[in-house]
A = this chain, B = another copy of it.
Amino acid sequence: MTDAAEPELPRGIALAWGVAANPQRGPKREMSVERIVEAAVEIADAEGLSAVSMAAVAARLGFTPMSLYRYVSAKEDLILLMQEEATGAPSEATRTAGGWRERLEALYREQLQHYLAHPWVLDIPISGVPATPNSAAWMDAGLSALAETDLTYTERLAVMLLVTGTSHWAGTILAGYARVERERGLDGEAISRSEDAMFRTLITADAYPELRAAIEAGAFLDESDPFAFALARGLEGVSDYIAAAAADGRRDAPGAWVVPDDADIADDKKFREARKAVRAAEKALRDAHKLERQAAREARERRARQRSES
């Protein structure tokens, strides 16, 4: 009955959920999946994912490579378990921090922290939604943060994808720098400087005017956090979207259980007027921008003429 679905489960996923039939007969087991995963994680932390070979893990535990296959059906499974171990579940603190935005930001930070502590996790190929306890916990934490909003469940998933995408991307880039630092034996600033120098010789103002300008401006030496910027913009956009959707009187798509009051405001007279005012203001802003650009162009031409005359 209940076991009918289990045989369909991919082997590694079954292991992750702890659905492993412990044998009764035969000699005592000398190892355990946990110890194997632990050893593998230690190796990966120290020397990267590529250093994790069945032989290396076995050697660290004092056994022969093939012995591991009694516990783990393939290396792929081991890696899935490593990911599960390294990623962990979100902490209580981030699961209960302030409003939805604070909680998502906390989630981002904690995920990024994990990625920086175990950068090899970023090298693991992604195939579909990982159906493991910890990844489910992260997803659940994000969704519960968004539960206070009027968003559709589909939209909540999309927002979560935005958050995890940002932490994944930030981790990828930052871990890339960290790796170069270790390989070349330089500190971050030295890398930045040498990269900047290389750019200066390769990027000409002819071929790449804007990129060259950015280099000249020292933008590549800047130490601000572009990922925090990206996340802040994204969540700002989400916040706008929530407000706009509420204003549109959009009904939540799924069934009866969702926040029902959105539709109510759509035909409210005062609200409709306010909305009309917003649209007018948007148009006014667009026009003003157009005039501003035109003025800038004219001013530039005027100056150029003055300069060529003198």
Given A140-B210, A195-B128, A210-B147, A230–B219 Cβ distance below 8 Å? no
Which A242-275 residues have a C-beta within 8 angstroms of B? 243, 246-247, 254-255, 257-259, 261, 264-265, 268, 270-271, 273-275
Report if A98 contacts B (CB, 8 A): no
Interface size in chain A (residues, C-beta < 8 A):
116
Measured in the bound complex, the distance between the Cα atoms of B169 and A162 in whole Å is: 9
- List, in ascending order, chain B residues with CB within 8 A of A294's CB: 274
Which A135-173 residues have a C-beta within 8 angstroms of B? 136-137, 139-140, 143-144, 147-148, 152-159, 161-162, 165-166, 168-170, 172-173
How far apart are A45's CB and chain B's nearest CB, in angstroms? 17
A154 contacts B222, C-beta separation under 8 Å: yes
How far apart are A267's CB and chain B's nearest CB, in angstroms? 9
A227 contacts B281, C-beta separation under 8 Å: no
Report if A278 contacts B (CB, 8 A): yes
A158 contacts B202, C-beta separation under 8 Å: no
A148 contacts B293, C-beta separation under 8 Å: yes
Report if A302 contacts B (CB, 8 A): yes
How far apart are A218's CB and chain B's nearest CB, in angstroms? 7
Report if A226 contacts B (CB, 8 A): yes
Given A176-B126, A229-B158, A234-B230, A153–B214 Cβ distance below 8 Å? yes
Given A143-B211, A153-B217, A270–B299 Cβ distance below 8 Å? yes
How far apart are A174's CB and chain B's nearest CB, in angstroms? 10
- Interface 1/0 per residue, A196-230 and B, CB below 8 Å: 01110111000111110110111110101011011
A288 contacts B296, C-beta separation under 8 Å: no
- List, in ascending order, chain B residues with CB within 8 A of A241's CB: 233, 236
How far apart are A128's CB and chain B's nearest CB, in angstroms? 5
How far apart are A204's CB and chain B's nearest CB, in angstroms? 10
B140 contacts A209, C-beta separation under 8 Å: yes
Closest 5 CB pairs of A and B: A233-B237, A268-B299, A158-B226, A236-B237, A143-B210
Instruction: Return 20 A-B CB contacts under 8 Å, by A number.
Output: A128-B191, A152-B219, A153-B218, A156-B219, A158-B226, A161-B226, A162-B233, A168-B172, A169-B169, A217-B255, A217-B258, A236-B236, A237-B237, A240-B240, A264-B299, A265-B300, A268-B302, A277-B288, A281-B288, A285-B285
